[in-house]
Structure 1
Amino acid sequence: MLKSVPAPVIGVDLGGTAIKLGCFQPDGTLVAERQVPTPQPSTPEAVVAAMAAAIADLDPQHHVKTIGVGTPGPADAQGRIARVAINLAGWQDVPLADWLESQTQRSVIIANDANCAGLGEAWLGSGRSFQDLILLTLGTGVGGAIILKGELFVGRDGTAAELGLITLNPDGPACNSGNQGSLEQYGSIQAIERRTGMEPALLGARAQAGDPEAIAFWQAYGRDLAAGIASLVYVLTPEAVIIGGGISASAPFFLPALEAELQRRVLPSSRQGLQLRVAELGNRAGMVGAAKLALVHQGLG
């Protein structure tokens, strides 16, 4: 009797400007990929139609049976409903999985895009040798993901691991979440621009050129980041903390200060063997993680 070959899956990373899709074998081999513009205005109906068309183009022979989708906002714990989608028009409790299943005739599971990025790094990126890890994405906001015993932790309602919204300074700048002084208000692109008047890329270039003020800023940034990460380490005692997002390009300038501050703030018993890593997958992490989400849903992850 011939042994059946496990079916490939598709991972979809839904962003405000682009939709990235990849078809993966269960061993992580990328078979094919596409990128299409996110419709403008990005209403749920228009986005689902664009995703369905791109999926049909990527897998015209219908070899894929399961699709994973990362959305820019929280999903419900069952992976069916996009509760809110940041930077997309008119998204509120959208039954995205149901709609996409109806248009593609394939099984669909969805999750927050930062959670997908964490899954991606844990599967094929810098977290692949760890079972317990935290991913922080440092970009327009500060997102995150928690992987425990190799599985994504989303909490009872699917909205856990909003790591950027933990309180760093109770008297700090107001946050869109309603919090004040959140980690996001010290670690995001907007926070850096507010504090320095410069974009992170320029600050990184200046530090590379030896500018003492830029170097001093990144050292302070690393210490601030460590203060937030210290709280997470005490609660979760992960094997690794992975730093991703666009700001991670300047990691060489802030990781040494971050590591030193973690050693100062966290008891050795809570950080034994803790590794600090920079994410490896770049802007493919969400797509890769969405494929891993599909594999788990398919019973192959």
Structure 2
Amino acid sequence: MSQLIGVDLGGTAIKLGRFSLEGQLLDALEVPTPQPAMPGAVVMALVEAIETLDPERLAPWVGIALPGPMDASGRVARVCINLPGWEQVPLADWLEPQLQRQVTLANDGNSALMGEVWQGAAAGYSDVLLLTLGTGVGGGVLLDGQLLTGHGGAASEPGLICVNPEGPPCNSGNRGSLEQYCSIAGLRRLRDLDPRELCQRADQGDPDALQVWETYGRWLGLGLSSLIYVLTPQLVLVGGGLSAASRHFLPAALRELEERVQAESRQGLELRGCALGNGAGRLGAARLALERFGQDRLG
């Protein structure tokens, strides 16, 4: 029986999984992302890792999640703003001849969302906003059960909305984007500590650490308030590395939403952490490969 490979390409690590058609993880592999993460070096690393994960070639379909917008056909990485040299990279065309497998590309936020819809916290929901909080701030949007990709495939970049026009410059060309306040770098502007240590200090009741997470949550809630007015989702999920501290910042984010968003626009809204952790992206990428290449296999 055919299997699937899902890949989550990040700035520091490439996470791969081999899955059954039902989404069961059969094998996993994580390798470091080449530094600098230029497209050619990444292609070589991907080919080697995929062949290591599936030497018997049981998986004919590969889905790859990347940090940025793809073209509408899922063939070209249009831009990955936190990876050097990634502009209009035809990654699927480069990989398929070497792998002898079909390859499709997707935004990492969309992939994480699809993973949560398939096997995680968004199962059974039709209108969902997901934010990934880490090196950058990405995300995905599900409306009426369908991914929102927009004209040309570049929609759903919630981390790039402006929350402060006088704020720090963003790699996107914007200033004061949500990413500048809710990424790891944004958190470290509030307190220059490793996020895990900051979380541990908050767990121990450190008032300064608790105040940092409170401020972080308020910025997150500010950004979410604009998104919720446009999307009115049933569910908002937060994932990525910083979501491990969600117990310290989600209450502040929720208070900000209750202050800024009319009750009619947040009726029944749920706000919580993702269920699948860092495995959501590779699972969702595999699911998108199944949808694009194996429609006859979908149950």
Same fold (TM over 0.5): yes
Q: Residue 281 of structure 1: CA displacement? A: 1.7
Q: Residue 180 of structure 2 aligns with which residue?
A: 185
Q: Following TM superposition, by how much is the alpha carbon of 1:292 offset from its aligned partner in structure 2, in angstroms? A: 1.0
Q: CA, structure 1 residues 268+295, in 2 after alignment: closer, same or farther (shift >3 Å)?
A: same
Which amino acid in 2 is paired with 1:37? P
Q: Which residue of 2 aligns with 1:214?
A: 209
Offset at 1:262? Answer: 1.2
Aligned partners of 1:118, 1:58: CA distance in 2, in Å? 24
The separation in 2 between residues aligned to 1:228 and 1:88, in whole angstroms, is 24
Q: Compared with structure 1, are the counterparts of its residues 199 and 288 closer, same or farther at alpha carbon in structure 2 (3 Å cutoff)?
A: same
Task: Describe the SS at the equivalent of 1:241.
Answer: strand
| Number of residue pairs aligned between Structure 1 and Structure 2 | 296
SS of 1:157's partner is helix
- Give the 3 Å change call, closer, same or farther, for CA 148–40 of structure 1 in structure 2: same
1:265 is matched with: 260
1:197 to 192, 199, 203: 192
Alignment-mate amino acid for residue 193 of structure 2: M
- Which of 49, 52, 74 is matched with 1:54 structurally? 49
How large is the RMSD of aligned CA atoms in angstroms?
Answer: 1.9
Measure the CA separation in 2 of the matches of 1:127 and 1:283: 15
Q: Does 1:26 align with 2:21?
A: yes
C-alpha distance in structure 2 between counterparts of 1:124 and 1:112, whole Å: 18
1:137 aligned partner, one-letter code: T
Q: Name the SS for the 1:154 alignment partner.
A: coil
Query: What are structure 2's unaligned runs of at least 5 residues?
Result: none
Alignment-mate amino acid for residue 85 of structure 1? C
CA offsets per residue over residues 57-87 of structure 1, 9 Å max, x none? 3333333221101123321111001123345
> SS at the partner of 2:11?
coil
**1:275 aligns to what?**
270
| CA separation of 1:44 and 1:192: change in aligned 2, threshold 3 A | closer
Q: Which one of the candidate residues 8, 11, 15 is aligned to 1:16?
A: 11
| 1:137–1:243 Cα contact (<8 Å) kept | yes
Q: Which amino acid aligns with 1:293?
A: L
**Quick check: 1:167–1:179 contact (8 Å CA) kept in 2?**
yes
Answer yes or no: is the 8 Å Cα contact 2:115–2:287 preserved in 1: yes
Measure, in 2, the Cα distance between the counterparts of 1:172 and 1:15.
26
Q: Which amino acid aligns with 1:38?
A: T
C-alpha separation in 1, matches of 2:82 and 2:185: 16
Distance 1:226 1:41 in 2: 34
User: CA shift at 1:203, angstroms?
Assistant: 2.2
Measured after TM superposition, the shift of residue 242 of structure 1 is 0.3
Q: What code does the residue aligned with 1:14 have?
A: L
* Residues 97 and 110, structure 1, Cα contact 8 Å, conserved in 2: yes
Q: For 2:168, what is the secondary structure of its paired residue?
A: coil
Tell whether 2:64 aligns with 1:69: yes
Amino acid paired to 2:136: G
Residues 60/119 of structure 1: CA separation in 2 closer, same or farther (3 Å cut): same
Structure 1 unaligned spans of 5+: none
Q: Which residue of 1 aligns with 2:146?
A: 151
- The answer to whether 1:134 aligns with 2:129 is yes
Retained in 2: the 8 A contact 1:192–1:199?
no
Q: Distance in 2 between matches of 1:65 and 1:184?
A: 36
Q: Please tell me whether the aligned partners of residues 5 and 17 of structure 2 are also in contact (alpha carbons under 8 angstroms).
A: yes
2:160 corresponds in structure 1 to: 165
| 2:250–2:272 contact (8 Å) kept in structure 1 | no
The answer (yes or no) to whether the contact 1:138–1:243 under 8 Å persists in 2 is yes
